[in-house]
Amino acid sequence: MARLIFVIVLSVIMMSADHRTNMLDNVRSLFGLLIYPLQTIASIPTDTGLWLEGQMDTRQSLIAENEERRTENLLLKAQLQKFTSLQAENIRLRSLLKSSRKLSDQMLIAETVAVDLDPYKRQIVINKGLFNNVYSGQPILDAYGIMGQVINPGIPTSTAILITDPSHAIPVQINRNGLRTVLYGTGAANYLEVQNLPNNADIEIGDLLITSGLGGRFPEGYPVARVVNIKRDPGQPFAQIIAEASAHLEQSREVLLVMAQENAPQLISQQEPQQVPQQKSKPEKALEGQANHE
């Protein structure tokens, strides 16, 4: 008991002296240096656990961030493709707008929704029909030239025949000299044929064939094809002439339909124009008077 009291009294005296004079700082530093290795060893499990937990969190965070960036990259690429498609579509529509300005008739823009896979036919399906005043024989074109004409107008969609179809023919003239002829489809993707043109006809490779307007079906002066090959056989009465279509028959998605005046919808006024009575000539009055007399 006396030892305990002595130790307590000694401790109080040492603490008071250390508090007032800091005489035990060196001793405390010495004991701290001796105890530091023990503290380090004792803290290893805790530090190791915290390090492993941090590594796991960092790895999971990196995996999640990487996945998020990958998803964002895919979305951005998809949007970029859409922007590229919209840009190309904008260019095509601008080209169609420039083409439509050449015509005085009302124009209707349509899109190609299907293509006939029959190798012996060249036909397409467009997304305009009777509700849009589409009619049989209506010419269609793109920004580069004549494509064909409507042959079967339906309610929601219509079928059109291309100028390269073997059963199609279109009256044309050579832009250089005005020589008229007829251009026939060959069934090939982009090629047509000029038939019944004599060997001595004034036609050359590179000549542009445009619509002549004969028959009133196609608007006059629009590109149809360009001559790419001519074979003149002295033993044959007619030359073999091959021309390449000016229109992008296999590529154009948007097309223009030429609306004839009698088929175009009346968008301004639905009132019938007033009939202005015409004055009759003197011979007509004389005949009318003679008929009444009889």
Q: Which domains does the chain have, with CATH numbers?
A: 106-259 (2.40.10.340)
**Which pLDDT does position 124 carry in this prediction?**
93
Q: State the CB neighbour count (10 A cutoff) for residue 180.
A: 11
Cβ burial 26-56 (10 Å sphere, 16+ → b, else e): eeeeeeeeeeeeeeeeeeeeeeeeeeeeeee
Q: State which residues of the chain have pLDDT below 50.
A: 263-294
168, 161 Cβ separation under 8 angstroms: yes
**Which pLDDT does position 129 carry in this prediction?**
92
Give the DSSP H or E segment for 48. helix 25-100
Q: 197-215 pLDDT, tens per residue?
A: 999 999 999 999 999 888 8
Rounded-to-integer distance, Cα 208 and Cα 176, Å: 7
Token pair of 246 as six digits: 């000016």
DSSP per-residue codes, 82-116: HHHHHHHHHHHHHHHHHHHTT-SSEEEEEEEEEE-
**Which pLDDT does position 282 carry in this prediction?**
43
88, 118 Cβ separation under 8 angstroms: no
**Which pLDDT does position 254 carry in this prediction?**
85
**Which pLDDT does position 244 carry in this prediction?**
96
Q: 27-52 pLDDT, tens per residue?
A: 666 766 777 777 778 778 777 877 77
**Which pLDDT does position 92 carry in this prediction?**
64
Residue 51 CA neighbour count, 13 Å, CB half: 6
**Which pLDDT does position 172 carry in this prediction?**
94
The pTM of the full predicted model, rounded to 2 decimals, is 0.58
Rounded-to-integer distance, Cα 93 and Cα 97, Å: 6
Rounded-to-integer distance, Cα 109 and Cα 97, Å: 9
**Which pLDDT does position 81 carry in this prediction?**
54
> How far is the CA of 294 from the CAs of 85, 130, 281, 287, in angstroms?
78, 52, 20, 11
